[in-house]
Structure 1
């Protein structure tokens, strides 16, 4: 069963309902790219009339985590994944529709190959950049993923 945007959105509804209720949706995913959007609304706002940072973090993490899940699925191995660390940078008020994008530049494949070859856990960083409807960056988030064979 290949991961698709529709399957990931159904996963959100049942496994991460807070993200689903806040409007986080996967729009595109392939082997090297994932795009997630979320619109600033009453349910996901902060007291300063912009999108709450945690909602942005959910959308950004989803872009990176979906790519990791897709690569683990492709490996046909039983591999556990977990966020070990994250860094965030906010540069502009997040209002309107925010689009988060993550591009895999072979970090995931390399880590999976190393963990399969050595049996040891591996870590790697993935970055997701959130932009508003004008194409301006509103936030950048990096997630350190750990993977290991189960």
Structure 2
């Protein structure tokens, strides 16, 4: 699969339908950064009239995971990926369109190179920041990714 915005959103529809139904969409991706958006709607709300934390987590995880997928694809090797750990901080009600951005794609290449060279799993943390339409941070999430070459 070529890593375009259109193909990633198609991937969401077929492989992560709950994220797609909740409105999670990739807007931009390159080697170092990924931008994912989701709008607060009835389908993804909590009882407090803001976006449910799990929907924010789906969008934040995608902003990091799409970068991992892209680097794995570029390596040409069969490499598995898994979220080993995550942390989240919610600082403001998430209403309107929320943008999740990860600018830490540079962390992935070394981990993939090391797992190919050693055959051992590698882990690394990536951060995604969620901001509202006014540019105010509403959440910050960290994901510990594990990559391992398939034998």
Q: Structure 2 length normalisation: TM-score? A: 0.98
Q: 1:117 corresponds to which residue?
A: 117
Residues 96, 132 of structure 2: 8 Å contact kept:
yes
The total of aligned residue pairs comes to: 150
Q: Quick one: distance in 2 between partners of 1:11 and 1:78? A: 18
TM superposition shift of 1:105: 5.1
Cα deviation for residue 2 of structure 1 reads 2.0
Q: CA RMSD in A?
A: 0.7
Contact 2:67/2:105 (8 A) holds in 1: no
What is residue 6 of structure 2 aligned with on the other side?
6
Q: Deviations over 1:22-80 (max 9, x none)?
A: 00000000110100000000000000000000000000000000000000000001100
1:106 positional shift:
2.1
Note the residue ranges of structure 2 that are not aligned, 5 or more in a row. Answer: none
Residue 53 of structure 1 corresponds to: 53
**After TM superposition, which residue ranges in structure 1, 4 or more long, deviate above 6 angstroms?**
none
Question: Displacement, 1:123?
Answer: 0.2
Write out aligned runs for 1:1-150 (5 A).
1-104=1-104, 106-150=106-150
Question: Unaligned 5+ residue runs, structure 1?
Answer: none
1:56 is paired with a residue whose SS is: helix
**Within 1, Cα distance between the matches of 2:128 and 2:74?**
22
In 1, Cα distance between equivalents of 2:13 and 2:106: 30
Q: TM-score, normalised by structure 1?
A: 0.98
Whole-angstrom CA distance in 1 between matches of 2:43 and 2:2: 32
CA distance in structure 1 between the aligned counterparts of 2:40 and 2:106, rounded to whole angstroms? 32
